[in-house]
Amino acid sequence: MLGTILSLTSAATFGMNAATIRRGVLTGSVIQGMSISLGLGLPFFLIISIVVGSFAQIWEFSTKSYILLALGGAIHFAFGRYCNYRATKAMGGILVRPLQQFSVILSLALAILFLGETLTPLRICGIILVLLGPLIMMRDHKNFTGKMERQNAEKTLSRIKFVPNYTEGIIFGIGSALGFGVSPVFVRAAIGDLNLTAAIAGGVVSYSAAAFVILLIILQPSRMRHVLAMSITSIRWFSFSAVLIAIAQMLRYMALAVAPVSVVTPIQQTTTIFQVIFAWIFNREHEPFGVWVLLGIFSSLLGAIALSVSTNFILTYFNLPEFMVLLADWRWP
């Protein structure tokens, strides 16, 4: 139950973060957003580790755990987040979200291979629904592009123009799904047998690894000048996003310390609901809300829920025919 609550709270925070990232990349670049995100995220994790008394645990992990946490951090916070920013800048957070649902399938596949978790008929249905989401969503892309081009033609030069770049958005959206899908398995393998405070300490290790990667990238003089030339508007939105994402990641690490990947990752896909809500509040003019887009998101969300609900729950609360009970009890491998 605690893992579910932590995962859901994390999902809500991720949803608000997605909306703030979208506003940030409208006026700033991806590398500017990454520099603030990790520049503020790491100190945040360090402060929280001191407050909750887990700072000393940063130095107590095994060599294997350090490697897994560092890999998880670099893959998620550096590679996955970079791809997420690029995809969001290219075609908006709402269109990117269904593509990122593929991370659920990847996480589940890796959990089956390396953590001994199993596949059930309910999870197979969830996978199908997740796969259908992007296909449904793309039915609306031509109408949306034409609509945005007409609207942009009517705007004054002072307004921000947005026409989705689907090629770039899809490529980097899938890249972010890969990064976000692989990392939970590394984190779970590193801290799965530890407590919640150790999870926060593990977050410090992961953030440190990702910050080191990004630091190597922005140390180039031209990139450093570009980062320092950030506008006040971009700084404000990227800073807000950095705090939100740090809180969301802290909650995610805590959830992974007390619940399996096959529970945490699917529940966090409810981020979709919160993302649509906050996008409507903050980014109504910069996001698509067409019927097919929302249907695609709904399909992916149903798939994520199917992946997160246990077969025991279904059998306990629903009176199914005997053949369906036998089918529901099937496991692989």
What's the rounded mean pLDDT across residues 157-176? 77
Helix H or strand E segment including 103? helix 102-114
Instruction: Reduce the DSSP state of residue 6 to 3 states and report it.
Output: helix
pLDDT value of position 156: 43
pTM greater than the 0.85 cutoff: no
What's the rounded mean pLDDT across residues 17-24? 89
pLDDT value of position 107: 75
- 91 — pLDDT class (breaks 50, 70, 90): confident
What's the rounded mean pLDDT across residues 299-318? 77
What's the rounded mean pLDDT across residues 92-99? 79
Between 119-123, 203-207, 227-231, 280-284, the lowest mean confidence (pLDDT) is in 280-284
Question: pLDDT of 135-163, one tens digit each?
Answer: 676 666 555 445 544 554 444 434 445 67
Question: pLDDT of 60-69, one tens digit each?
Answer: 999 999 999 9
What's the rounded mean pLDDT across residues 92-112? 78
Which residue did the predictor score with more confidence, 279 or 51? 51
What's the rounded mean pLDDT across residues 12-25? 89
pLDDT value of position 308: 67
**Chain mean pLDDT for the chain:** 83
The angle, 0 to 180 degrees and rounded to 10, between the axes of the packed helices 291-308 and 121-137 is 160
Contacts 24+ apart (CB under 8 A), 57-60: 57/197, 57/198, 57/201, 58/201, 58/204, 58/205, 60/201
pLDDT over 90 percentage in the chain: 34
pLDDT value of position 63: 94
| 111 Cβ contact partners less than 8 Å away, ≥ 6 residues apart | 117, 185, 188, 260, 261, 262
Give the number of other CB atoms < 10 A from CB of residue 39: 17
Cα–Cα nearest to 84, from 248, 198, 298: 248
pLDDT value of position 158: 41
Which residue did the predictor score with more confidence, 178 or 284? 178
Cα–Cα nearest to 264, from 246, 281, 283, 251: 251
pLDDT over 70 percentage in the chain: 88
pLDDT value of position 134: 67
